[in-house]
Structure 1
Amino acid sequence: MTAVQDRPTEAPLTLEAPAPRVLGLADQLGLWGNLGVSLLGFTGAIFVLVPVADPGMSLGAALVAVVVGTVLGSLGIGAIAIPGARTGAPSMVLLRGLFGTRASYVPTVLNIVQLIGWTTFELVTISTALSQLAPGVPRWAYAVAAGVLSTALALRPLAWIRVLRKYVTIVVMVALAYLAVQLLRHPLPALNDGGWNGFWVAVDTVIGVTVSWVPLVADYARHSRTPHKAFIGTSVGYAVTQFACYALGLLALVTVAGRDPDKIFGSFIAVPLGALVFGVLTIRELDQSFADTYSTAVSVQNLRPRWDRRVLALVIGAVSTVAAVALNIADYESFLLLIGSVFVPLLGVLLVDWFWLRRGRWDLSTGSRTRWATLIAWAAGFVAYQLVNPGALTWWVPIWSGLGSALHFTAPSWLGASIFSFVVAAVVAALLTPLLRGPEVPDEPTTYDETRDEAPAEAELVAQDEEGAR
């Protein structure tokens, strides 16, 4: 028992230290169950209900789109948890095996930029929501308080995950159920009142939200006791609550908010005890900003493995907090969505390479050689995404419109960018990898943490489970 108690239970400070395997199934269900709920997700339901143009889809079609998009996206992030759990490597280090060490720096830098941006977005969202609940306090004070708390949680991430599992998840589920019951007291339109126009675009929207977590999944899955628990905890935990979040947003839109996303928060607050329940969901949003802050620090470590993640988290938290107070972050949203689009085709390349082409035999060392086949496949998927949906940046859209015209390619209205780019990237990787001779394939599946002990014996796992239960 003494040996088990001496095992580290918190995330390592550098990449050179072993990652403890301490997260059980309940821990990961709690983590991803909370990450599946988002204030931005409630308002984002409008892009599912009205994916193309007014009057939008029927409530039944929108709910089906949420189910399809959530299942597909959750299976994707669940699958990417498996390499993290097997190797003990965080997300950006896994990309050394997929692209090579030097090439992995490109998505790493993009991920750092987008995560700092999303951390700032979350702080703005939290402070704005709290301002609606208690307008007597200036918004900047809420932003500073949220930034301080997010940074503090990122200093001890695994301890916070246990708190989520023990306490927060239950409270959040009760809050969601309560709001759903209150909204269902209002008359609902018929489920088939409307059409299915834009169904696959709506599915694509839901998938895109889910896949936005791809750059973070392995940062937590590497601490899982088994790959099986990592897959189930990530996919099931996220799927259940994301569906609940979207469904609640849809209910608010068709019952109280009049299809106006700006009125969704107000419709929650207006129900009996609504301010209290909405306050719970707002404070819970800290797990989003915490996850972004911690994963930003771990991503930086792919560039500087010896840097202390606690120092990095403090710097990142300070930068994000200042940005949330001082900047007009709404102008940055389109750029963040553009960066996020690079990770959809990356998921396609990663899954086909890990599970089929190399079957887990990756070189995750700092000397891993560049793999041009997977890089080209990733680029092809990115191009496919932009041809379908180049976003809204005024200087960016004409580039892809011009390329589409040159290629005589016009995306049909039903085609979703996420699914299309995922398939293109996966197919190109499958076809190109055998043709381009890359680095030699290791004889055995690679474990990043070569200094980590062998998997704990069954008795040790039982003792860890008992300790986790306490």
Structure 2
Amino acid sequence: MASDVIDPHIDPPSSSNEVPLTLDQAPPKTLGMLDQSAFWANLGVSLLGFSGALTLLNAAGPGAPLTFAAAILATVVGSLIGTAMVGLAAVPGAQTGQPSMVLLRGLFGARLSYVPSLLNTVQMIGWGAFELWVIANGAQAIFGTAVPYSVWVLLGGLITVALTIWPLGSIRLLRRFVTAGVVVAMIWLTVALVQRGPSLSGGSWAGFAPAVDYVIALSVSWVPMAADFTRHSRSPRAAFGGVFVGYSIAQVACLGLGVVALALVGNDADKVWGAFVAAPLGALFFGILVLRETDQSFANTYSTTMSLQNLMPRVDRRIISVTVGVVISALALGADVTDYTAFLALIGAVFVPMFAVLAVDYFVLRGITRWDTGEQAPSRWLMLVPWVLGFVTWWLVAALPEVEWWESLWTSARAALGFTPQPWMSAALAAFLVAAVVTLVVAPLDRRLRPAR
């Protein structure tokens, strides 16, 4: 790993063990590898991941499901690749003490960093609302409808805001008390479901590459917020190791358990949670996982707060957190958040090529030695070129979502180029490679032009 960097744009760290209220002070460096491994392991286990295993199995289409061995191998390969990306995205946060979107001032300039900040805000608010919807429905899977959906949403929203106001304390709480319960719950449910004799035969390897692509996408969805937490890491090594070890192991376990559950319920994603609840002591252990899901809404809400602080660096983060908590609770109560997932898929493609540009410029081209995260950092317009080309590459290769105008746009683009994506192609890796290669050309040119400006 590169050596630590002292950022000249922030004051000395606060004496508090909690996150400073504004961006003017350096963050306390209190998180060791165990804290971060436990936190990222909790993020790697998701109620959505269990039912999302159906997408993994049917990555090549409903008529060509993967074999069990292919699904597990795709999960392992995709998790290792995707989590390595997240881990590398976490390192600059540990080195500079800056959150993710503030780091992008060094990549694009202060004003241009507002663009990904706003995109990440929209994305994280949507995911936060979706997580409250998941929590409420998970609770009703255990207790039925005796307690209204709205009550569970509001309770989840209150817990989320409380965690967000004391983020470092929340991470330590997760490590000390929650992680052990999650591990026990996962082991118990796995044993209980395997004992029921799920049918794991049949299928093919035809959808292996798209399945790997899906798992990579699950992992790199955390790239835009990794540094928001690892800025508090005691070292870059602990930041990378915590992310890589904790998240990759947990995601493999989560998707693997989802595949087993689907084999019991006839590949019906709507029945997966019911299979968990029906297991011996299933309601208890599934309840632990439902309660743990609040760390997902917490991570999304806190990342939204950090993104907005890039725009308003001296606004008290507690005010922003409470406001965001109210907004995501209102969305979960009044909107059909399931319709929002298509839009989230569209903007999710933004962050793989953006990370490629950051990784090449920061690590490979030694941008670390001149990274400017100040509020007056000059705009680097040329750095938008590899980002945009990577985004275009993603959609030329990716399976297109069922959004009519978006599908039509990229189908026409493929026809104009005479390009047909092949089953073995990975949109995530293609976008990463294109953005990375173009950055190798553009970034040195950008550096030569900047003194002239």
C-alpha distance in structure 2 between counterparts of 1:161 and 1:32, whole Å: 10
CA contact (8 A) 2:107 2:380 kept: yes
Residue of structure 1 aligned with 2:220, choices 211, 214, 222: 211
Task: Measure, in 1, the Cα distance between the counterparts of 2:17 and 2:239.
Answer: 17
Q: Trace 1:324-339 onto structure 2 (pairs within 5 A).
A: 324-339=332-347
2:406 and 2:118 map into 1 onto residues whose CA distance is 20
Is 1:166 aligned to residue 166 of structure 2?
A: no
Q: C-alpha separation between the residues in 2 aligned to 1:215 and 1:123?
A: 20
1:24 equivalent in structure 2: 32
**1:354 paired residue number:** 362
Q: Who is 1:48 aligned against?
A: 56
Kindly tell me: are residues 351 and 272 of structure 1, through their superposed partners in 2, closer, same or farther at Cα, counting changes over 3 Å?
same
Residue 344 in 1 paired to residue 352 in 2? yes
Query: Which of 143, 153, 157 is the matching residue for 1:143?
Result: 153
1:141 Cα deviation after fit: 0.8
Q: State the number of aligned residues.
A: 435
Task: Say yes or no: does 1:244 pair with 2:253.
Answer: yes
Residues in 2 aligned to 1:431 and 1:197: alpha-carbon distance in whole angstroms: 36
Structure 2 contact 383–446 (Cα < 8 Å) conserved: no
* 1:318 lines up with 2:330 in the alignment: no
The TM-score with structure 2 as length reference comes to 0.93
The answer to whether the Cα contact below 8 Å between 1:371 and 1:438 also exists between their aligned partners in 2 is no
5+ residue gaps in structure 2?
A: 1-12
Tell me the equivalent position of 1:229: 238
Q: Does residue 201 in structure 1 map to residue 210 in structure 2?
A: yes
**How far apart, CA to CA, are the structure 1 residues paired with 2:304 and 2:15?**
26
Report the AA paired with residue 150 of structure 1.
T
Deviation at 1:321, TM superposition (A): 0.3
Q: 1:435 matched to which residue of 2?
A: 445
Q: Structure 2 counterpart of 1:300, which letter?
A: L
Q: Show structure 1 runs of 5+ residues with no match.
A: 442-470
* Contact kept in structure 2, 1:200 and 1:414, CA below 8 Å: yes
- In structure 2, relative to structure 1, the CA distance for the partners of 1:380 and 1:223 (3 Å cut) is same
1:9 aligns with 2:1: no
CA apart distance, 1:435: 3.5
> Contact (CA 8 Å) 2:14, 2:20: kept in 1 or not?
no
CA distance, structure 2, for counterparts of residue 400 and residue 60 of structure 1: 33
Aligned match of 1:181 = 191
* Distance of 1:89 and 1:352 partners within structure 2: 19
Match of 1:157 in 2: 167
Residue 108 (1) aligns with residue 117 (2): yes
3-state SS in 2 of match to 1:396: helix
Q: Give the letter aligned to residue 270 of structure 2.
A: D
Partners of 1:190 and 1:328 in 2: CA distance: 34
User: Residue 289 of structure 1 is aligned with which of 297, 308, 314?
Assistant: 297
Contact 1:14 1:308 in 2 (8 A): yes
Who is 1:399 aligned against?
409
* Aligned residues with identical type, % of pairs: 46
Contact 1:11 1:156 in 2 (8 A): yes
Match of 1:419 in 2: 429
Displacement of 1:392: 2.4
Inter-partner Cα distance in structure 1 for 2:183 and 2:409: 45
Contact 1:59 1:189 survives alignment (8 Å): no
CA contact (8 A) 2:14 2:27 kept: no
Mapped partners of 1:6, 1:304: distance in 2 = 19
Distance change in 2, residues 1:189/1:133 (3 Å): closer
Cα distance, 1:436 vs structure 2:
4.1
Distance 1:265 1:189 in 2: 18
C-alpha distance in structure 1 between counterparts of 2:197 and 2:143, whole Å:
30
Q: In structure 1, which of residues 364, 379, 382 is the aligned counterpart of residue 391 of structure 2?
A: 382
Seen in structure 2, the aligned counterparts of structure 1 residues 196 and 175 have a Cα distance that, compared at 3 Å, is same
Q: CA RMSD in A?
A: 1.5
Deviation at 1:349, TM superposition (A): 1.1
Q: Give the C-alpha shift of residue 6 in structure 1.
A: 8.3
| Counterpart contact for 1:373–1:438, Cα < 8 Å | no
Query: Deviation at 1:414?
Result: 2.3
In structure 2, what is the equivalent of residue 66 of structure 1? 75
Q: Aligned partners of 2:24 and 2:446: how far apart in 1?
A: 32
Match of 1:103, SS state, is coil
TM-score of the aligned structures, taking structure 1 as reference length: 0.90
SS of 2:234's equivalent in the other structure is coil
| Preserved contact between residue 372 and residue 438 of structure 1 (Cα < 8 Å) | no
Q: 1:134 to 1:225 in 2, by over 3 A?
A: same
Distance in 2, Cα, partners of 1:249 & 1:146: 24
Match in the other structure for 2:280:
272
